[in-house]
Structure 1
Amino acid sequence: MAINKFHEVEIKFAVDGATTVPDLTRLPEVESIGSTREHRLSAIYYDTRDLRLTREKITLRRRTGGEDDGWHIKLPADSGRIELHAELGDPVNGVYHVPDDLLAQVRAIVRNHELAPVAQVDNHRTESTLCLADGTPIGEFCDDRVTAWSLLPGGAQTSWRECEVELAEPMIGTDIGADFLHSITELLIGAGARRSSSPSKLAAALGDSVDHAPVPAHLRDPDLDEDSAAAGVITALRANRDKLIEYDPKVRRDEWDSVHQMRVATRELRSHMETFDGVLAGEAIKQLLAELKILASILGRARDAEVVEERFHALLDAEDSDVIDATAREHIREDMGAEYRRAHRHVVAALDSDRYLDMLDAIDELLADPPLAGAHRLDEDEVTAATGRHAATDDADTDTSAAPAEEEPELSPEEVLLSHLEEAYRKLLKRHRRAVDNWDNHELTLHEREDYFHDMRKSAKKLRYAAEAVGAATRVKTKRLYKACKDLQSSLGDFQDSVTSRDKLVHLAQAADRRGESTFAYGLLYQRERFLGLQALEEYKDGVKQIKASFGRLKLTKKK
Structure 2
Amino acid sequence: MGKRVAETERKYEAAGRTGEPDLEGLPGVAAVRVLEPAELDAVYVDTPDLRLATRKITLRRRTGGDDAGWHLKLPSSLADTRTEVQAPLGKQGRKGGPRVPESLLAEVAAILRDRELVPVVRLRNARRRIHLVDAAGSPLLEIAHDDVRATLLDHGDGAESAWTEVETELLDGGTDLLDAVEKRLHAAGLRRSTSPSKLARALGHRLEAAPRPPQPPTRARTAADVALTYVHEQVAAITAWDPEVRRDEPDSVHQMRVSTRRLRSALKTFRRELDRAVTDPIGDELKWLAGVLGLERDREVLADRLRDRLAELPPELATKTLAARIGGDAPVHEGARKQLLRELGSGRYFRLLDTLESLLADPPLLDAAAAPAADAVAKAVRRDHRRLRRRVEPALRMEPGHERDLALHEARKAAKRARYSSEASQAVPALRKAAKKHTKRMKAVQQLLGEHQDSVICREALLRLADDARAAGEDTFPYGVLYQLERERADTVERQLPKEWPAADRGRLAG
TM over 0.5: yes
Which of 285, 290, 310 is residue 279 of structure 2 equivalent to?
285
Q: Shift in Å at residue 542 of structure 1? A: 5.2
CA contact (8 A) 1:123 1:144 kept: no
Q: Shift in Å at residue 358 of structure 1? A: 1.3
Paired letter, 1:164: T
Mean CA deviation greater in 249-258 or 493-502: 493-502
Residues 70 and 539 (structure 1), Cα distance of their counterparts in 2 relative to 1, 3 Å cut? farther
State whether structure 2 residue 410 is matched by structure 1 residue 482. no
Which stretches in structure 2 are left out of the alignment for 5+ residues? none
Which of 187, 192, 203 is residue 206 of structure 1 equivalent to?
203
Mean CA deviation greater in 344-353 or 224-233: 224-233
User: Residues of 2 paired with 1:156 and 1:324: CA distance?
Assistant: 72
* Structure 2 counterparts to residues 391-406 of structure 1, below 5 A: none
* Structure 2 counterparts to residues 347-386 of structure 1, below 5 A: 347-373=340-366
Which of 160, 168, 174 is residue 164 of structure 2 equivalent to?
160
> How many residues matched?
496
State whether structure 2 residue 36 is matched by structure 1 residue 76. no
User: Residues of 2 paired with 1:196 and 1:10: CA distance?
Assistant: 15
Residues 200 and 375 (structure 1), Cα distance of their counterparts in 2 relative to 1, 3 Å cut? closer
Residues 490 and 220 (structure 1), Cα distance of their counterparts in 2 relative to 1, 3 Å cut? closer
SS for the counterpart of 1:41 is: strand
Q: Percent identity over the alignment?
A: 33
- The equivalent of 2:394 in structure 1 is 434
Paired letter, 1:457: R
User: Residues of 1 paired with 2:84 and 2:34: CA distance?
Assistant: 25
User: Residues of 1 paired with 2:112 and 2:211: CA distance?
Assistant: 14
CA contact (8 A) 2:3 2:85 kept: yes
Mean CA deviation greater in 287-296 or 97-106: 97-106
CA contact (8 A) 1:153 1:212 kept: no
Q: Shift in Å at residue 521 of structure 1? A: 4.4
* Structure 2 counterparts to residues 22-421 of structure 1, below 5 A: 22=23, 28=28, 36=35, 38-77=37-76, 80-126=82-128, 141-149=142-150, 151=152, 157-167=161-171, 180-192=173-185, 198-216=195-213, 218-219=214-215, 227-316=221-310, 321=315, 323-335=317-329, 337-373=330-366, 418-421=378-381
User: Residues of 1 paired with 2:58 and 2:83: CA distance?
Assistant: 11
CA contact (8 A) 1:63 1:69 kept: yes
Paired letter, 1:256: P
Paired letter, 1:89: K
CA contact (8 A) 1:60 1:74 kept: yes
Mean CA deviation greater in 265-274 or 545-554: 545-554
Residues 553 and 192 (structure 1), Cα distance of their counterparts in 2 relative to 1, 3 Å cut? same
Mean CA deviation greater in 533-542 or 300-309: 533-542
- The equivalent of 1:172 in structure 2 is none
- The equivalent of 2:503 in structure 1 is 546
SS for the counterpart of 1:274 is: helix
- The equivalent of 1:517 in structure 2 is 474
User: Residues of 1 paired with 2:72 and 2:267: CA distance?
Assistant: 33
Q: Shift in Å at residue 458 of structure 1? A: 1.0
CA contact (8 A) 1:5 1:83 kept: yes
Which of 447, 451, 460 is residue 406 of structure 2 equivalent to?
451
Cα distance per residue 1:96-143 (max 9 Å; x no partner): 3334443232121122333223333223345677888888x6766252
CA contact (8 A) 1:435 1:452 kept: yes
User: Residues of 1 paired with 2:392 and 2:267: CA distance?
Assistant: 24
CA contact (8 A) 2:438 2:509 kept: no
CA contact (8 A) 2:45 2:59 kept: yes
SS for the counterpart of 1:240 is: helix
RMSD value, Cα: 3.8
CA contact (8 A) 1:44 1:117 kept: yes
CA contact (8 A) 1:481 1:550 kept: yes
User: Residues of 2 paired with 1:32 and 1:413: CA distance?
Assistant: 60
Q: Shift in Å at residue 485 of structure 1? A: 0.8
User: Residues of 1 paired with 2:34 and 2:325: CA distance?
Assistant: 52
Mean CA deviation greater in 360-369 or 420-429: 420-429
Q: Shift in Å at residue 375 of structure 1? A: 7.7
Mean CA deviation greater in 284-293 or 309-318: 309-318
User: Residues of 2 paired with 1:539 and 1:344: CA distance?
Assistant: 37
Paired letter, 2:382: E
Q: Shift in Å at residue 23 of structure 1? A: 6.6
Residues 190 and 476 (structure 1), Cα distance of their counterparts in 2 relative to 1, 3 Å cut? closer
User: Residues of 2 paired with 1:280 and 1:432: CA distance?
Assistant: 28
- The equivalent of 2:462 in structure 1 is 505
